[in-house]
């Protein structure tokens, strides 16, 4: 596929631009890229403080709330930040599209790399905290969920980056949609709250966001979402991801010739 070939062919350029992308986001501040790590870390810790120490919310499976919450929140932060940055990447790098012969297909991946530095940092923090509380991770499940997360992000933003380039207002709508997805995904609440609403529960369980958040969380709880429900959650997740990529790839390729004209 042309997209995969373009990414592989330009992997060195992607890596260099990705590092520059991350540094440039905080270039005008005195602490520089430290803010990139500090802001989401404090945001996560505030949730922990409010729900564990003020509301005294219990975790699931006998785990403290911090152990239950941090893995799910770390994955969500990865999803949200990567989707929002990659979706607007072509407009942010409009000078590459308009003035240089540049493989436009790789631009969203550049922003994805830029976002990944903070994402990996938050995932490592979640892993360390869980280990401190003696909840040892299943390394293979963690690696699988990280791979599945980035596969889904690439599939999702293949579509949204094209739409955002053609319709600038879509970035605002996407921001609202991601807020709705946050509250609809069991990041700060548990799926057990829907036990009396089986239809809603099933719908939530088959959502890709739920699959990824729950899967990473379960890696510390001795559960395995990959084989749960006879692997049905995994099958549906990959069907949605593949179909989304094919759809997004079609839209992207069909319209990329017009990107320079609308920017």
Q: What is the DSSP string of 154-188?
A: HHHHHHHHHHHHH-TTHHHHHHHHHHHHHHHTTTS
| Distance from C-alpha of 123 to C-alpha of 244, rounded to nearest angstrom | 25
pLDDT of res. 208: 94
Better-predicted residue by pLDDT, 205 or 32: 205
| Distance from C-alpha of 209 to C-alpha of 8, rounded to nearest angstrom | 27
Confidence band (pLDDT; 50, 70, 90) for 29?
low
pLDDT tens for 162-197 read 999 998 889 999 999 999 999 989 888 887 777 777
The answer to whether the beta carbons of residues 144 and 66 sit under 8 Å apart is no
The answer to whether the beta carbons of residues 213 and 78 sit under 8 Å apart is no
Whether the predicted pLDDT of 61 surpasses 70: no
| Distance from C-alpha of 126 to C-alpha of 217, rounded to nearest angstrom | 10
pLDDT tens for 193-228 read 777 777 888 888 889 999 999 999 989 888 888 888
**Average pLDDT, rounded, for the chain:** 85
Whether the predicted pLDDT of 100 surpasses 90: no
| Distance from C-alpha of 244 to C-alpha of 161, rounded to nearest angstrom | 13
pLDDT of res. 123: 92
Give the tokens for residue 74. Answer: 């770390």
Whether the predicted pLDDT of 42 surpasses 60: yes
pLDDT of res. 146: 95
Largest CA distance in the chain: 57
Confidence band (pLDDT; 50, 70, 90) for 58?
low
Alpha helices (runs of H) in 49-189, residue ranges in sequence order? 65-87, 89-92, 94-99, 107-132, 139-166, 170-184
Whether the predicted pLDDT of 27 surpasses 70: no
| Distance from C-alpha of 178 to C-alpha of 82, rounded to nearest angstrom | 11
CB-side exposure of 260: number of CA atoms within 13 Å? Answer: 11
CB-side exposure of 45: number of CA atoms within 13 Å? Answer: 9
| Distance from C-alpha of 93 to C-alpha of 103, rounded to nearest angstrom | 12
Give Cα separations from 243 to 43, 68, 157, 187, 259 (angstroms): 34, 31, 13, 25, 23
pTM (2 d.p.): 0.91
């Amino acid at each position: 596929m042309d997209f995969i070939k373009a990414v592989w062919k330009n992997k060195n350029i992607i890596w260099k631009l990705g590092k520059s992308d991350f540094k440039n986001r905080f270039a005008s501040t005195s602490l520089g890229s430290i803010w990139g790590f500090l802001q989401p870390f404090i945001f996560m810790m505030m949730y922990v403080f409010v729900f564990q120490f003020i509301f005294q919310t219990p975790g699931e499976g006998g785990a403290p709330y911090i152990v239950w919450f941090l893995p799910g929140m770390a994955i969500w932060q990865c999803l949200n930040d990567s989707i929002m940055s990659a979706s607007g990447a072509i407009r942010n790098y409009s000078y590459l599209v308009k003035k240089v012969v540049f493989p436009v297909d790789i631009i969203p991946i550049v922003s994805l790399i830029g976002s990944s530095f903070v994402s990996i940092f938050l995932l490592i923090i979640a892993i360390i905290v869980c280990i401190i509380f003696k909840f040892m991770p299943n390394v293979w499940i963690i690696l699988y969920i990280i791979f599945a997360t980035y596969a889904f992000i690439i599939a999702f933003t293949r579509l949204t980056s094209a739409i955002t380039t053609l319709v600038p207002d879509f970035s605002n709508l996407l921001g609202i949609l991601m807020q709705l997805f946050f509250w609809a995904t069991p990041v700060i609440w548990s799926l057990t709250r829907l036990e009396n609403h089986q239809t809603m529960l099933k719908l939530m369980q088959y959502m890709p966001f739920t699959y990824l958040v729950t899967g990473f969380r379960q890696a510390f709880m001795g559960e395995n979402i990959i084989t749960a429900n006879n692997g049905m959650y995994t099958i549906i997740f990959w069907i949605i991801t593949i179909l989304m990529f094919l759809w997004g790839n079609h839209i992207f390729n069909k319209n990329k010739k017009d990107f320079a004209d609308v920017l």
